[in-house]
Amino acid sequence: MERCVVDREAELKRLMLRGLDGDAAAWRALLSEMRGALTPFFKRRLIGCEADAEDLVQDCLIAIHAKRATYDRSLPFTAWAYAIARYKLIDHFRRLGRRPDVPLEEASVLLAEHTVEDGVIRRDLKTVLSICRCASAA
């Protein structure tokens, strides 16, 4: 297993370096390989929103292409590529916002229950605070 990962990293890095040196076929092969690797990466992280995975793959491939000049040839390629993928995923989540999806039948758990005691406590608290303010003002 570890050997396979090392071999894959070496192959992707080789394609990246050849692509940076102007080999168009190597560049196309790299982007094709990355498509195959990024699709499951995003789908695993988008439970319930798997349809967004393809858009994120496209965004990521475009970013890899646009930022290829920033790649440091002495560093592993996959670390650089997956960092871009993580940033794209974070941007996606930020665009969505944090909106809980609760079925209407279960929405009552989101609402606070008010009791008569809550009103009495609130009234008593206001009285105590008004007394404290009067005492501190004197």
- pLDDT band per the 50, 70, 90 thresholds, residue 5: low
For residue 60, what is the domain's CATH number? 1.10.1740.10
Instruction: Indicate if the pLDDT at residue 131 is higher than 50.
Output: yes
The residue with greater pLDDT, 99 or 121, is 121
Instruction: Examine residue 38 and state whether it is found in any structural domain, yes or no.
Output: yes
- What's the structural domain count of the chain? 1
Instruction: Examine residue 107 and state whether it is found in any structural domain, yes or no.
Output: no
- pLDDT band per the 50, 70, 90 thresholds, residue 1: very low
- For CA atoms 114, 115, 120, 124, give the dihedral sign: negative
Instruction: Examine residue 88 and state whether it is found in any structural domain, yes or no.
Output: yes
Instruction: Examine residue 134 and state whether it is found in any structural domain, yes or no.
Output: no
Instruction: Examine residue 20 and state whether it is found in any structural domain, yes or no.
Output: yes
Domain of 65?
2-96
Instruction: Examine residue 127 and state whether it is found in any structural domain, yes or no.
Output: no
> Mean pLDDT throughout 115-123?
71
Buried b (16+ CB within 10 A) or exposed e, 21-39: eeeeebbebbbeebeeebe
Q: How far is CA 117 from the centre of its chain?
A: 43
Report yes or no on whether pTM surpasses 0.75.
no
Least confident of 30-34, 42-46, 95-99, 100-104: 100-104
Instruction: Examine residue 131 and state whether it is found in any structural domain, yes or no.
Output: no
